[in-house]
Amino acid sequence: MKDKDIIVTENLRYSYVSDVSKRELALDGISLNIKEGSFVAVLGHNGSGKSTLAKHLNAILLPEGGKVYVAGMDSSDEKLVLEIRRQVGMVFQNPDNQLVANVVEEDVAFGPENLGIEPSEIRRRVDEALKLVGMYEFRNHAPHLLSGGQKQRVAIAGIIAMRPRCIVLDEPTAMLDPVGRAEVIKTIHDLNRNQGITVVLITHHMAETVDADRLIIMQDGKIVADGKPSEVFSRVEEIKSYGLDVPDTTELIYELNKEGFNLPLEALSVEECAQAIYAVFS
């Protein structure tokens, strides 16, 4: 493995049904290298294998075939599982299932307490994590009274307090309103940019993937596209064949090109798209 890869999977295969006659692969030969410090988004239709892949990245599931390495540690090695879970934190869809305490700061302290960290250090980490997700002023609040986006940021703080090198988020915004979604996406971009934490973001909202360093598309347990979001989305017909939409900007340029224009499909941001169209008329 290259020393800058925090996660490596080699020909990873997994199926849920042990009856061989019914066996369908949920993961069918996934080979993936994730660079430390990168922001990787994963898109795919229902049942394409995204959650199954996510659960392999911190040894919740173990490979049936192939290998998963986290910071060089083989996830199939039982002795390494706790250390792998410390390095890769998971955030799930429903924040209510992830919050355990009656006060925000106690909730964030829960993970580091389980790691056996001493109280003064826990105090420091909890404050730091809550500040990083913008929830410090809510530290004495009851989690159940927070908005969905706030709850999810507290859940993220609980992971951050364990000082992971990577966070894997499996549809963290699926249950949130647009404001909550924006808060969570901004928070994870900040953590990636300012703290260097590697992010793997699984989502159904393609708009959440446009600012990623890399976009992976899954279909039937395989990786079918992998590149910069602007490159991947420019393959409009292929993306649609996977049952996915492309961003509005790409769609607009695609439709204009059908009418005879020759605009760059890679102009993904609203700004780039507007510039490209403006250039034609000036």
Ligand X SMILES: Nc1ncnc2c1ncn2[C@@H]1O[C@H](COP(=O)(O)OP(=O)(O)OP(=O)(O)O)[C@@H](O)[C@H]1O
Name the site residues for ligand X (rule: CB under 6 A). Answer: 16, 26, 44, 46-52
Segment near Mg ion (CB under 5 A), from 42-50, 102-110, 256-264, 267-275?
42-50
Q: CB neighbours (10 Å) of residue 1?
A: 13
Residue 269 CA: distances (Å) to CA of 5, 183, 275: 28, 19, 10
What six digits make up the tokens of 197? Answer: 């934490």
Residues shown for the chain: 282
Of residues 50 and 153, the one with the C-beta less far from ligand X? 50
| 3-state secondary structure (DSSP) of residue 15 | coil
Residue 46's binding partner, choosing from Mg ion, ligand X, none, with beta-carbon cut-off 5 to 8 A by kind?
A: ligand X
Shortest Cβ 207–ligand X spacing (Å) = 16
Pick between residue 91 and residue 268 the one whose CB is nearest to Mg ion: 91
Q: What is the DSSP letter of 228?
A: -
Residues paired with 70 in a beta bridge: 7, 73
By CB under 5 A, tell whether 219 contacts Mg ion: no
CB of 175 to Mg ion, least distance (A): 13
Q: Which of the ranges 46-54, 70-78, 110-118, 161-169 carries the binding residues for Mg ion, by CB under 5 A?
A: 46-54
Minimum distance, C-beta of residue 248 to ligand X, in the bound complex (Å): 22
51 touches Mg ion by CB under 5 A: yes
Nearest distance in Å: CB 255, Mg ion: 31
* Nearest by Cα to 58 from 80, 38, 35: 80
Q: How far is the CB of 143 from ligand X (least distance, A)?
A: 24
Q: Which one of ligand X, Mg ion, none interacts with residue 181, CB within 5 to 8 A by kind? A: none
Query: Helix 178-195 crosses helix 119-132 at what angle (to 10 degrees)?
Result: 120
Rounded CA-CA distance 71/222 in Å is 23
Q: Which does 21 bind (CB under 5 to 8 A by kind): ligand X, Mg ion, none?
A: none
Question: CB neighbours (10 Å) of residue 277?
Answer: 17
Residue 89: contacted member of Mg ion, ligand X, none (CB under 5 to 8 Å, by partner type): none
Supply the minimum distance, in Å, between the C-beta of residue 273 and Mg ion. 30
3-class secondary-structure state, position 43: strand
Nearest residue (CB) to Mg ion, 186 versus 204: 204
Under a CB-based contact definition with an 8 Å cutoff, are residues 33 and 194 in contact?
Answer: no
Supply the DSSP symbol for 173.
T
Pick between residue 7 and residue 160 the one whose CB is nearest to ligand X.
7
- Which residues of this chain interact with Mg ion, rule CB under 5 A? 50-51
